[in-house]
Amino acid sequence: MFKIQTLLSALINRRRTLERSGGLYNFLCMMSEGFRDEQTAKKRSNEENEDSAERAQDAKRIKAEGEQAEDEKKYPKKKVALLLAYSGKGYYGMQRNPGTTQFRTIEDDLVTALIKSGCIPENHGDEMKKMSFQRCARTDKGVSAAGQVVSLKVRLIEDIIEKINGHLPPQIKVLGLKRVTQSFNSKNNCDARTYSYMLPTVAFSPKDYDTGNIAAFRLEPETLQRANRLFALYKGTHNFHNFTSQKAPSDPSARRYITEMSCGEPFINNNTEFAVITVRGQSFMMHQIRKMIGLVIAVIKGYAKEEVLERSWGQEKVDVPKAPGLGLVLERVHFDRYNKRFGGDGLHERLEWESEVEAIKAFKEAHIYPTIVETECQEGSMVSWMSTLPVHDFEETATVTQDNKDQKQDNADVGNNAD
């Protein structure tokens, strides 16, 4: 009897244990299922949020594309030529340097203004080929322009010039716009370029002249005549391999055609006498104009003999000094062949900008000339450069070392592409 009761008691305890274990098991199962449900809900929520964000992004993109398509429908892209003026001080030349943000160029600010004004899509700023952008002349660091021309495709929005200028700094300004042919390229269609170079006349003083007070110097008529006789020697086609860097005498591209070069009558500005040299040529290489002027100054001052000009066009390497870039200005670019072919077709205008002459003059008087004069009087770049002339050897053939010095200077002037 005792054994039967003991056995029944053990069975009852076992049942209770199993029930308790089963309850715990069921509880754990419930907890596990609840956790899985929570994780599933979170995952579903994240996926819904991602889908929502993606849908919102797609909607935004579709809207932007729609607006862009609407803009392009309302304002179809057309090929134009923009007349541009700028003061180059503080800029590393005209042309953009992709991937180099610390060296600001004129085109950096121009492209930003084109985007902000709505003339071009934002993605065209990174890939300028998309708008068929081309500048007529690449200008050096610090060089200014009164008549630069760029060609590109833009949306012809209302008040386009005013809107572009509204996003440009005061020292850069679009002065004119004209429709051109779809194949027009401002660089390739340009027949000639005219530059001016404004300098203090003390540059033509004798080498023993005291430059402590440049305001006291006055250029003699005989010296001006001699300078113009020397400048006239540049006219025609010559091999200018000595007037740029890293150009071999045998390189056909070193031959350039000059049609005009002369120095005008001196004038007084800010109590200092200045003069303007004008040069027109088919095209110019990097630093060419500044070296053409630098060599004539060296002859006038007595550091070199006149025969050095003829020798510089020969095969040997000649040490040619490079005048400062401050006074150089791109005055005008010429499209004679384009004007002759398309200027009278009834569809396109001649690229001559007669109606913008006063605006060009006003910009030069407000932004270019004052900058040149004030900077020269305050910093004395010409006088400082003149002090380096004695280190040049004009008698012997220049060594490779001198060419390397020029190249190091060129590399330091990042953005200096061409005069």
The residues annotated with a catalytic role in the active site are 140
The number of residues making up the chain comes to: 419
Rounded Cα distance, 180 and 132, in Å: 13
Nearest one of 96, 77, 74, 85 to 152, comparing CA atoms? 77
Pair 288, 208: CB distance under 8 Å:
no
Rounded Cα distance, 353 and 363, in Å: 15
Rounded Cα distance, 272 and 310, in Å: 33
Cα dihedral: 104, 175, 265, 307 (round 10)? 50
Joined together, the tokens standing for residue 317 give 């390497």
Joined together, the tokens standing for residue 42 give 């979170």
Q: Which amino acid is at 317?
A: K
- Residue partners of 193: CB distance under 8 A and separation at least 6: 136, 137, 280, 281, 282, 283, 284, 330, 332, 333, 334
Rounded Cα distance, 169 and 112, in Å: 11
Rounded Cα distance, 127 and 112, in Å: 13
Question: In the block, which residue shows the tokens 């280190």?
Answer: 391
Joined together, the tokens standing for residue 128 give 């300028």
Beta strands in 10-56 (DSSP E): none
CA atoms within 13 A on the CB side of 27: 6
Secondary structure (3-state) at 48? helix
What is the DSSP secondary structure assignment for residue 397, as one 8-state letter? P
Say if residue 25 carries a ligand binding annotation. Answer: no
For the annotated binding site for substrate, the residues are 195
